[in-house]
């Protein structure tokens, strides 16, 4: 019994430490740790192996870090979602990242609280989460002297784009939680604009799903991790 409690505490401490690293400086491991954190109270040996695999990855890339460089003052912002990516409960993962001076300054990977009935719905929910962060960053940068009248969020789903711009209640949107329509108000007020981005250029891809090595390496560089 004591040994089980010790191992459980060890797993929680390991995930907590990795989560701190992921939130602070390593967006490339954010999805993996967000996924593994679901099993804090019901983990098994396989979850422990996965967590140690993340440790090995960090050891091999310990020289990698967020690198800022002189660029324009644009705030690059991308939102993405992967429909039904959690095999346990069929819920989707939302992800967004904001880049400034050539590197990430804000990112998130989080499982959605409700089951999305379509790819468009999961992407729409991700857009709403990204819009809330955009408003926060807009106010923060205003205090720092950089005024953004309108923040453009890039998304790779045309249906979600149209859903965010259309305030009419349709069969595809009538069941969506009211708070998820926050982005519509932001668009109507002119604070947010949503534009389409090709899927192959989606830099937030690693925040919503597990990726093969070459794809992850490419995205890691584009996020400012050098």
Looking at residue 174, what is its pLDDT?
65
Give the HSE-up count for residue 56: Cα atoms under 13 Å, Cβ half-sphere.
Answer: 6
DSSP string, the chain: -HHHHHHHHHHHHHHHHHHHHHHHT-GGGHHHHHHHGGGTTT--HHHHHHHHHHHHHHHHTTT--B------S-EEEEEEEETT--TTT---EEEEEEEETTEEEEEEEEE-SS--SSHHHHHHHHHHHHHHHHHHHHHHHHHTT---S-EEEEES-HHHHHHHH--S--TTTTTS-GGGGHHHHHHHHTSEEEEE--GGG-TTGGGTS---HHHHHHHHHHTTB-
Residue-wise pLDDT tens digits, 155-171: 999 988 888 887 665 66
Within 8 A by CB and 6+ apart from 180, the residues are: 124, 125, 128
Q: Is the whole-model pTM more than 0.75?
A: yes
Domain regions of the chain by residue span? 2-60, 75-222
**CB-based contact 161:194 (threshold 8 Å):** yes
Q: What residue has token string 């809330």?
A: 132
Query: What's domain 75-222's architecture?
Result: 2-Layer Sandwich (3.30)
Question: Of 211, 35, 219, 206, which is closest to residue 110 (Cα–Cα)?
Answer: 35
- Residues making up the chain, counted from first to last: 226
Q: Which two tokens stand for residue 175?
A: 């069941």
Residue segments in the chain with a per-residue pLDDT below the cut of 50 = none
Q: Measured between alpha carbons, how far is 168 from 173 in angstroms, rounded to an integer?
A: 9
The β-bridge partners of 195 are 154
Residue-wise pLDDT tens digits, 134-152: 999 989 988 888 788 788 9
Query: How many degrees, rounded to 5, is the angle at CA 33 between CA 30 and CA 39?
Result: 150
Looking at residue 26, what is its pLDDT?
96
Q: Measured between alpha carbons, how far is 133 from 183 in angstroms, rounded to an integer?
A: 11
């Amino acid at each position: 019994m004591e040994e089980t409690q010790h191992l459980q505490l060890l797993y929680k401490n390991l995930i907590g430490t990795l989560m701190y690293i992921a939130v602070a400086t390593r967006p490339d491991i954010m999805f993996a740790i967000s996924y593994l954190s679901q099993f804090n109270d019901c983990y098994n040996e396989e979850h422990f192996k996965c967590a140690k695999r993340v440790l090995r990855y960090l050891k091999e890339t310990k020289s990698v870090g967020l690198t800022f460089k002189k660029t324009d003052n644009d705030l690059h912002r991308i939102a993405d979602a992967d429909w039904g990516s959690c095999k346990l409960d069929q819920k989707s993962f939302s992800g967004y990242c904001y880049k400034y001076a050539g590197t990430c300054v804000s990112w998130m990977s989080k499982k959605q609280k409700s089951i999305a009935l379509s790819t468009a719905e999961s992407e729409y929910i991700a857009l709403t989460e990204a819009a809330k962060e955009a408003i926060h960053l807009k106010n923060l940068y205003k205090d720092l002297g950089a005024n953004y009248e309108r923040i453009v969020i890039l998304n790779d789903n045309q249906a979600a784009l149209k859903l965010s711009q259309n305030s009419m209640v349709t069969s595809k949107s009538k069941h969506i939680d009211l708070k998820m329509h926050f982005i519509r108000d932001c668009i109507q007020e002119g604070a947010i604009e949503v534009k389409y981005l090709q899927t192959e250029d989606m830099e937030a891809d690693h925040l919503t799903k597990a990726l093969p090595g070459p794809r992850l390496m490419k995205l890691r560089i584009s996020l400012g991790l050098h």
